Amino acid sequence: MADTFPLTPDYALQLSYKEDGMLRTAARGGKQYMRSAGPPQRVWQCAFLKRPQADWAALDEFASQHADEYFLFVDPRGTRQYAVYFAAAPRESWAANESHDLACDLIEAVDCALTVYPETPLKSLAVSRFVTITTGKLITYPGYGFSLSATGVTDMLIDGVSVGATAPVYNIPLGLHKLEVQPNTASITAFSFVP
């Protein structure tokens, strides 16, 4: 399992999105075409103000050890953890005698495992977004796990892998997931997912 980021950032921690997961193109006439290409990825801009030399050494060593692999970042609000990687090398500046201002940017990693998965669905999608196919009902959603209310379900496949007939299912890494509910006669009343 991945290591955990060693420092807690100071306030204010900035959170943005690297991309929204949409692939966009425009026709010569100006019409826009969009489709979902991946999940949105969070970007944390972390600052560590007036820290001792030991904190810089710890951050620099951790970055060297994890330059090409993901690690876990615990949300300072204590609500959940994320799989992340460094966007670039951490930065250091001298703030005063024996104190350093540190900074680094962390990007949420797609398809990387967590030790603890979030269990509270935050976004709902309209049931009408499920498309009926020969074998079942299909929906694509960006995020982690999902919760489903339905009757008559015999099996559910997430990205082609059976997860059984019961919901919710939360232990799924971040990604653009395809959920197939079998059979196509199943009645779905609600669907929500963890972004």
Of 83, 108, 133, which residue constitutes the final position of a domain?
A: 108
Give 113-123 pLDDT, tens digit per residue. Answer: 999 999 888 89
Decide if pLDDT at 176 tops 80: yes
**Nearby residues of 64 by Cβ (< 8 Å), 6 or more positions away:** none
Of residues 75 and 158, the one with the higher pLDDT is 158
Question: Do 98 and 18 fall within a single domain?
Answer: yes
Domain interval for residue 75:
14-108
Question: Do 73 and 146 fall within a single domain?
Answer: no
Give 28-43 pLDDT, tens digit per residue. Answer: 777 776 666 678 899 9
Instruction: Please state whether the predicted TM-score (pTM) of the whole model is above 0.85.
Output: no
Q: How many domains does the chain have?
A: 2
Handedness of CA 54, 60, 62, 65 (dihedral sign): negative
Using pLDDT thresholds of 50, 70 and 90, give the confidence band for residue 21.
low
The rounded distance, in Å, linking the Cα atoms of 2 and 143 is: 20
pLDDT score at 22: 62
What are the φ/ψ torsions at residue 55 (nearest 5 degrees)?
A: -65, -40
